[in-house]
Chain A
């Protein structure tokens, strides 16, 4: 079993739609959580950190459920420019802050 698992996608949605991505992680000692966005053949870019209280940044809302080891990302009012691969990322914490990435979920927003 992979340490971070995501919906494989792809998700094909019309502009204006609301789309939700889910992610589970297996290491209960994981300490911090992120969503990164990656455009085709580009580097991952930090979209947002995820906190237990939930956090929102404009059209994007991230939630963390530590008990279920579950992370989610909600995108409201999708734009064409949201088309990308969304990577769920977990940091095991401790002194070695290496990131563990999910395989990513591809989103295509159509006109």
Chain B
């Protein structure tokens, strides 16, 4: 196991609602990256947090936002949920910026009705 945990495991919301997903990084890691994986696709990068600062963002609208806390755990917030936001949300933990290996948590499966 990677030691990366995510909560909740499953979530059902309706269009227009807001959701917060949580991630605890592996011990010793100070970087958390978030990815969205739609069915049948590879994960898509949402953003990365390094030492509590956003350190890069993929092609996602501003209604996707995040935080990283002093203990390096992280939250992903999505406002004004749309049907297309239904996906597996993965967080990945790593040490430092750049090209280090990333280790994934089990994911949160979000369904938007």
Contacts and interface: CB of A to CB of B under 8 A. Distances in A.
Given A44-B104, A98-B33, A103-B42, A93 B99 contact: yes
B18 interface: no
A101 interface: yes
Interface in A57-111: 87, 91, 93-104
Interface residues of A, number: 25
B27 interface: no
Given A31-B99, A95-B55, A97-B100, A43 B90 contact: yes
Residues of B in contact with A, size category: 20 to 34
A34 B96 CA distance: 17
A91 B107 CA distance: 21
B106 A42 contact: yes
A97 B107 contact: no
A96 B42 contact: no
Contact of A103 (B41, B96, B101, B103): B41
20 contacts: A32-B99, A42-B106, A42-B107, A46-B101, A46-B102, A93-B99, A94-B98, A95-B56, A95-B98, A96-B56, A97-B33, A97-B98, A97-B102, A98-B56, A99-B33, A99-B43, A99-B45, A101-B42, A103-B40, A103-B42
